[in-house]
């Protein structure tokens, strides 16, 4: 374990949702900083995020499994759990009130955004994403360790901000009445219905009225693109940032990347559709727009 530096976590980043690798390296081992590996891979990737974590992770990092810390009774992937379940799960990981939480993933900026958003909507005051993620940390030759990390149990007071979470009825209302703009983070071919959904039983296509901004268009080298590029991408997708936006994707993961992109421009979304296309596309009662 890295020895705590003289610089403590109380020296929080000046603003924004991100910290640099240097910022984190100077605080590894500080008692009020917890590092969280929130890596996750698409079902078709054939990779185990947990196994990769055990093989190599940032020293002191705990593994946050978005499929396990979830409402597994819903039948949908990684839906938000109850406040009680979240509090118990993250407290067991050693994440407590008042801690500075730094989330990263093994791809740079992918599922870390979902990890960040989950802590954010459950009321974490100081939660950040590591710029560049594990790839940049590795490229800079910074230390890694293997095995599971067990931190002393802590207490996290979970208060879910339900206004930031859109349900299927909220999205159906937005789709029918235009009360909010729907912004889908999936790749264009999946949005258009030209490619099959990776989940069995889920139709191809998109929610009527939704716009498409693939999450890959707002990310470069494990970080968000610069503000001018983000504004251009959002505008090209047909989104008016002065009006409410609900982000969605395949299962609520990359929708959080769009959340962070809009938030970085000072125009955070109204909500994220937690069920996303995994819910909408598997329901015969909901209209899906597919190939022409």
- Specify the 3-state DSSP secondary structure of 241: coil
- Give the predicted TM-score (pTM) of the model: 0.94
What pLDDT is stored for residue 77 in this prediction? 94
Cβ distance 66 to 39 under 8 Å?
no
pLDDT (mean) for 112-118: 98
Q: What is the pLDDT of residue 82?
A: 98
At 24 the pLDDT is 96
Within 8 A by CB and 6+ apart from 15, the residues are none
Instruction: Name the least confident of 6-20, 85-99, 178-192, 276-290.
Output: 6-20
Is pLDDT above 90 for 102?
A: yes
Over the stretch 9-44, which tens digit does the pLDDT of each residue have? 445 665 579 999 999 999 999 999 999 999 999 888
pLDDT given for residue 5 in this prediction: 36
Collapse the DSSP code of 53 into the 3-class scheme (helix H, G, I; strand E, B; otherwise coil) and give the result: helix
Q: Does residue 167 carry a catalytic annotation?
A: no
DSSP H or E segment with residue 104: strand 100-104
Q: What is the mean pLDDT of the chain?
A: 93
| Domain extent listing, the chain | 18-160, 163-280
Q: Considering only 200-204, 224-228, 286-290, which range has the smallest mean pLDDT?
A: 286-290
Tokens standing for residue 48: 């185990």
pLDDT of residue 13: 64
pLDDT of residue 289: 86
Q: Judge whether 274 and 166 are in contact, CB under 8 Å.
A: yes
pLDDT at 235: 98
Give percent above pLDDT 90 in the chain: 87
- Whether 18-160 shares its CATH topology with 163-280 is answered yes
Choose the catalytic residue: 19, 89, 249, 272: 249
Length of the chain measured in residues: 292
Tens of pLDDT along 53-100? 999 999 999 999 999 999 999 989 999 999 999 999 999 999 999 999
Average pLDDT, integer, range 235-255: 98
CATH of span 18-160: 3.40.250.10
- Fold category of 163-280 in CATH: Oxidized Rhodanese; domain 1 (3.40.250)
Residue 94: burial class (beta carbons within 10 Å; 0-12, 13-18, 19+)? middle
pLDDT computed for residue 43 by the predictor: 83
pLDDT at 3: 33
Give me the pLDDT at residue 14, please: 57
Residues 40, 110: contact at Cβ < 8 Å? yes
Q: Is the model's pLDDT at 4 over the cut of 50?
A: no
Cβ-contact 281, 263 below 8 angstroms: no
Question: Is 70 exceeded by the pLDDT of residue 2?
Answer: no
The reported pLDDT for the residue numbered 15 is 59
Task: Tell me the C-alpha distance between 155 and 113, whole Å.
Answer: 23
Cβ atoms within 10 Å of 188's Cβ, excluding its own: 14
**Cβ neighbours of residue 115 under 8 Å, at least 6 residues apart?**
36, 38, 64, 66, 103, 105, 129
Residue 144 pLDDT greater than 80, yes or no? yes
pLDDT band, residue 245 (cuts 50/70/90):
very high
């Amino acid at each position: 374990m890295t020895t705590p530096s003289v610089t403590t976590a109380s020296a929080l980043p000046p603003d924004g949702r991100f910290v640099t690798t240097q910022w984190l390296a100077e605080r590894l081992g500080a008692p009020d900083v917890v590092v969280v590996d929130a890596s996750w891979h698409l079902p078709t990737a054939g990779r185990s995020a947990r196994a990769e974590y055990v093989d190599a992770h940032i020293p002191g990092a705990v593994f946050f499994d978005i499929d396990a810390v979830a409402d597994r009774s819903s039948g949908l992937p990684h839906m938000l759990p109850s406040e009680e379940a979240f509090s118990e799960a993250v407290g067991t990981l050693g994440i407590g009130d008042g801690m500075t939480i730094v989330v990263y993933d093994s791809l740079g900026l992918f599922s870390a955004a979902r990890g960040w958003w989950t802590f954010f909507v459950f009321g974490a005051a100081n939660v950040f994403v590591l710029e560049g993620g594990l790839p940049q940390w590795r490229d800079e030759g910074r230390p890694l360790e293997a095995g599971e990390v067990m931190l002393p149990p802590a207490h996290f007071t979970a208060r879910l901000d339900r206004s930031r979470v859109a349900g299927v009825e909220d999205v159906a209302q937005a789709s029918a009445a235009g009360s909010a703009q729907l912004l889908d983070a999936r790749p264009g071919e999946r949005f258009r219905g030209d490619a099959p959904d990776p989940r069995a039983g889920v139709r191809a296509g998109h929610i009527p009225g939704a716009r498409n901004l693939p999450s890959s268009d707002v990310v470069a080298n494990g970080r968000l693109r610069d503000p001018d590029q983000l504004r251009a991408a959002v505008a090209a997708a047909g989104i008016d940032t002065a009006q409410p936006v609900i982000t969605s994707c395949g299962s609520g993961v990359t929708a959080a990347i769009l959340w962070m992109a809009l938030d970085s421009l000072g125009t955070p979304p109204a909500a994220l559709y937690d069920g996303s296309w995994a819910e909408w596309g598997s329901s015969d009662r909901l209209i899906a727009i597919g190939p022409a």
